[in-house]
Structure 1
Amino acid sequence: MKCLGLWIFFLAAISLTYAANKPNCKSCLTVAEVGKDILSSGVTDDELKSIGDILCASLPTFARSFCPSTIQTVYQNLRKQFVVKKTTPQTVCTKVKMC
């Protein structure tokens, strides 16, 4: 179940990254909430990297070059906000100007 949640999180994060239009608040809140749940479940860095590598390999060629760094950035920011600072998804999305 944890792996399914990770897939959903990464797909949502990548979808937001590649969207032609600016993502809306609801999308941000959804991704942030899933990210918070995953990070709270004790997922390891190795698990995240493994799933991220698989996901990035499945993307079109043009997206593969910046996919790993995007996933790493999203993961680090969410971990900092949710685990260290105990921030809410609403606060995170407001800080990144999506809400």
Structure 2
Amino acid sequence: MLLQSHRGAIDLLPALPEAWSEGSVSGLRARGGVAVDLEWADGDLTSATLTDLSGADRPVRVRFRGSSADLDLPAHGRLRLDGHLHATDEAPGGADEGVLVHSEERTT
């Protein structure tokens, strides 16, 4: 499974098959009108791009392997995240970037 969205959260690569250790996918759809593009290597997320399709500003919680980030995704905006769910300066396509509100990383 590459993406799961439930109760306002988007889980990235929640059940990536071992055979797919490297890859990318674009155009996945999360609940609420968010498009998601993903890239990964050695089974780890390297980048994710979230794009609002709904036309409304929205808070979004993104999770990957125990880490989470609460984001503000603007209407029709894009937000690019690195593998640690930190917002990067690069927003492909020239759309407005979102804003990182809170990031929490768990270490176990």
Question: Normalization by structure 2: what TM-score?
Answer: 0.30
> RCO higher in 1 or 2 (8 Å CA, sep ≥ 6)?
1
Q: 1 or 2, which has the higher strand percentage?
A: 2
Question: Normalization by structure 1: what TM-score?
Answer: 0.31
